Amino acid sequence: MSEESAEDIVDEARQWWRTDIIDVHPGEIALRGYPIQELLGRVGFVDTIWLMLRGELPSSEEAALFEAALVASVDHGPQAPSIAIARMATTCGVPINGAMASAINVLGDVHGGPGQQCMEIYLEIDAEHEKRGDLGEAVRVVLQRQRDAGVAYVPGFGHRFHPLDPRTPRLLSLVDAAAAGGTVDGRFAAIGRAVEDAISAGRPQRIPMNVDGVTAVIYCELGFTPELGRGVFILARSVGILAHAAEQMTQGGRIKGPMPKSIGYTYTGPARRSVPVDDDERRSTS
């Protein structure tokens, strides 16, 4: 067996990490082929996010719709678990990166994931619609499939706090305007509205689309994958997390838990009891 040449070893090392995203050499930085000095002052941060994730710069209309979705997801108050965790972590003395990491780590399937899950449902309905040619039937089939799989509710609809999420009508109007202008085709807005109609049918009150449902519409319209949908939500929410962690640093406080000490919590375990003194007594209590 012949030994690898030095050139082969160097080539293998260079191929170990491959990326289309950035090219860096001494004195040179290029993002997706664009020299960084040409981007600076000419391309905004939202456009740069799109460029990094999608490989090309967005149109101004795409960037505006994308930015609106990001702004809508920035914060939802200290009652949101991720924000509360950032503030609690700060009072435990961790630095800003630790507070942000602690908060971001809870943005999982339940708190942070419904937007991705909603996108997956929209895409499934879109595929079913293409096969069947009837949107209402496609919605019915997919929602029944969800129920058969044990899904108790449709992510992206209803809200524990808002009777009508104030972000939804505005974002939907921006999608409609973008569709009218040809930036997007509007089919996922139609899917989202059809889902809302279907799950609200026969109920005394509608179950309206929430911010997860409407940003799922936008990210599907713009061609993002569900995984990137969750990722950009986390990116947006990181701004709120940073703001709250920084505010808590200025307010001070030490080891603040989820509620004031005067409120306490509910204990549901056994009543006070004595420790058994011998084996017979231990056996009688087991």
Please say if the pLDDT value at position 286 is more than 70.
Answer: no
Q: What pLDDT does 258 receive?
A: 87
Mean pLDDT, the chain, integer? 94
Please say if the pLDDT value at position 150 is more than 80.
Answer: yes
Predicted TM-score (pTM) of the model is 0.91
Quick one: which of 205, 213, 226 has its CA closest to 175?
213
Q: Is residue 237 part of a domain?
A: yes
Q: Is residue 31 part of a domain?
A: no
For range 207-228, the mean pLDDT:
97
pLDDT, tens digit (0-9, with 9 covering 90-100), for 251-270: 999 999 888 888 888 999 99
For range 199-226, the mean pLDDT:
96
- Helices of type H across 105-256: 114-132, 135-148, 167-180, 187-200, 211-221, 226-251
Q: Is residue 262 part of a domain?
A: no
Please say if the pLDDT value at position 285 is more than 70.
Answer: no
Q: What pLDDT does 152 receive?
A: 84
Q: Is residue 105 part of a domain?
A: yes
For range 261-283, the mean pLDDT:
85
Please say if the pLDDT value at position 1 is more than 60.
Answer: no
Contacts 24+ apart (CB under 8 A), 88-95: 88/256, 88/257, 88/258, 89/245, 90/245, 90/248, 90/249, 90/253, 91/248, 91/253, 91/254, 91/255, 91/256, 92/255
Kindly indicate the confidence band of residue 278, based on its pLDDT and cuts at 50, 70 and 90: confident
Is residue 80 within 8 Å of 55, Cβ to Cβ?
A: no
CATH number of the domain at 249, please: 1.10.230.10
Kindly indicate the confidence band of residue 158, based on its pLDDT and cuts at 50, 70 and 90: confident
Q: What percentage of the chain reaches a pLDDT higher than 70?
A: 98
Q: What pLDDT does 166 receive?
A: 93
Q: Is residue 269 part of a domain?
A: no
pLDDT, tens digit (0-9, with 9 covering 90-100), for 41-100: 999 999 999 999 999 999 999 999 999 999 999 999 998 999 999 999 999 999 999 999
Q: Which domain holds residue 194?
A: 59-257
Return the top range by mean pLDDT from 25-39, 148-162, 268-282.
25-39
Which of 11-25, 90-104, 269-283 has the least mean pLDDT? 269-283
Q: Is residue 168 part of a domain?
A: yes
Q: Is residue 267 part of a domain?
A: no
3-state secondary structure of 24: strand
Quick one: which of 201, 211, 206, 208 has its CA closest to 164?
208
Q: Is residue 4 part of a domain?
A: no
How many domains are contained in the chain? 1
For range 149-165, the mean pLDDT:
86
